[in-house]
A and B are shown apart, each in its own frame.
Chain A
Amino acid sequence: MRVASDLAKCQGYGNCVAIDERHFDLDDDGLVVVREEHVTQEERDTADEAIRSCPVAAIWLEDVR
């Protein structure tokens, strides 16, 4: 799986970063930056929690094609 994001939706809550620093960060405008796209099986639970914590659903997981 890999992480995807939509900057038009992001409002810089930063919840994702607080939960999963490996995959998410904030840029200078305070909006989400995907640091690492790839999510391993071991990292899946943490990434899911970060995604669930986003109030505006600006991040999600998708299959690697």
Chain B
Amino acid sequence: MTIDQSLPSQRVSDLIDITAGEISREIFVDEAIHKQELENLFPRAWLFVGHASQVPNPGDYFSSWMGSDPVLLTRDDRGEIYVLLNSCRHRGMKVCRYDEGNTMQFTCPYHAWSYSIDGSLVDVPGDLHGVPHLKSAYQGQLEKAKWGLVRCPRVHNYKGLVFATWDEQAPDFLDYVGDFHWWLDNLADAFDGTEGGTEVFHGVLKWRIKSNWKFVSENFLGDTYHGASTHASVEAVGIGPGGKGKRRHGERQNQGGFSKGRMKTSFRLGHGASDNLDYELPYPEFAEPELTEYFEHAWNKRAEKLRAEGRPLGGRGPATMFPNMSFAAGFPRSILVAHPISPTETEVWRWFLVDKDAPDFVREWLRQYYMRYGGPAGMTEQDDMENWDYATNASRGVVARRYPYNYQQGLDREQPSELDRAVHSDHAIAGEVNARAFYRRWAEYVDNLSQQELTERAQVDERIDRIKERQAKSAAELEGQA
């Protein structure tokens, strides 16, 4: 493949060759492409903003980011959730500089324009409620209704997971997610299967890495290939539920009989998971018997509920919802958002979830496990960050940028899936089908295809046709031999 390096006027899709399995390093380091991402991708995609349990009461707020823009997740006096741009309409000052809290109004520190989220005082929460010296400064004529905080027009609360998009033309959230919702269900539902039975545990960990945000998304999207090498030391220490000699996520598939075989799942819409729904991995055996007992009970209850609904029990991830929300729905159960700062800097936020009705000893065990696993001081996270930082640093050189990355694992070896517009890898560990689909979708957004074009392109998953062609061909060959 020859990648055209004449930046920046070209289309980013020219840098992605998914047929050959080659992707230019430019998309991980180039300023102009980063700007195109901020302009064309982040304001038009559905993004994870926060969890409803972070704003349980009227007046609660949580400060978050959507791409390049700071936002406030708020709850008004009627219990409704809003997402507001955290920037004063007068001179743009950040009206709220706290991470989270409770207030019915945001008064700008600069000139004291005041915005209310009390629906009994303003028409719509976020409206401009008052400006100092309204009478003398504006002769009482300021049209307050026009100068409220910018409101995100589309917000969707999915079992407590709050998503938003700035684009009025974007598809409905459920269409954007497609059959990938099964993974979101496993994330949002309690360990015993109770719908939406989770809450955020002890705040959010936030830190910056010297790497492109896509390294993070891709890692959780289905890169199980790095585990054995990158996380070898973590496995040697034994940080998982079972302690020393057991796996870091608590897997016990090698103990026999539990798994129907693991494959990765890749959606035409760009989402991807490291596993498939039929890969039924029971909760771990813990070093502490009371935890094993607790989670065994939860697993059995969940199994009974889901079987009655005809649902398989798998789909725990790790997974990434396009573009930048990654998560794992098991051990740990955690959400990770990669906020783009620059082409080579990312702010990573990690939320940890816990069952709403989990007893204290379970919470305390999970708290310790989450801390030693993830976040800036977590051992598994440190392994990954080290890779992303050094990969970025060694990819930004003039010569390095001439050579594409290799995404050839499992090319033309995709397997059919029961899920809508999805395929599987043919191997549990190898297989870069998820990343190829992710970057194709990424390029469609960044090249600024209209929402209508984006929808139309994703109507068909031609990978499925290729699987059928391949099957027909090998059937014909077999017949020829016979």
Contact = CB atoms under 8 A, between A and B. Distances in A.
A51 B312 CA distance: 56
A30 B138 CA distance: 12
Nearest to A14: B134
Given A53-B121, A55-B107, A56-B107, A11 B112 contact: yes
B75 interface: no
Interface string B134-171: 11100010000000000000000000000000000000
A55 B129 CA distance: 8
Nearest to A15: B130
Interface string A36-61: 00000000000001001101100000
Contacts of A12: 132-136
A contact face: mostly helix, strand, loop, or mixed: loop
B212 interface: no
A54 to B, nearest CB: 8
Contacts of A53: 121, 129-130
B311 to A, nearest CB: 48
Interface residues of A, number: 12
B105 A11 contact: no
B134 A13 contact: yes
Given A52-B121, A53-B121, A55-B112, A30 B129 contact: no
Contacts of B140: 14
B114 interface: yes
Contacts of B120: 49
A14 B463 CA distance: 64
Contacts, number: 40
A56 B105 CA distance: 10
Given A30-B135, A53-B129, A53-B130, A13 B121 contact: no
A60 B169 CA distance: 46
Nearest to B133: A12
A26 to B, nearest CB: 6
Contacts of A11: 112, 132-133
B129 A52 contact: no
Contacts of B118: 52
B422 interface: no
A30 B136 contact: yes
A55 B121 contact: no
A35 to B, nearest CB: 16
Nearest to B113: A55
Contacts of B107: 55-56
B214 to A, nearest CB: 42
B121 A14 contact: no
Contact of B130 (A14, A26, A30, A49): A14
Contacts of B133: 11-14, 30
A30 B118 CA distance: 25
A30 B114 CA distance: 17
B105 A55 contact: yes
A50 B136 CA distance: 20
A13 B115 CA distance: 12
Given A30-B133, A53-B121, A55-B130, 11 more contacts: A11-B112, A13-B114, A13-B130, A14-B130, A14-B134, A30-B135, A49-B120, A52-B118, A52-B121, A55-B129, A56-B107
Interface of B: 105, 107, 112, 114, 118, 120-121, 129-136, 140
7 cross-chain pairs, A with B, having the tightest CB-CB distances, nearest first: A55-B114, A13-B130, A11-B132, A12-B133, A14-B134, A15-B130, A30-B133
Interface of A: 11-15, 26, 30, 49, 52-53, 55-56
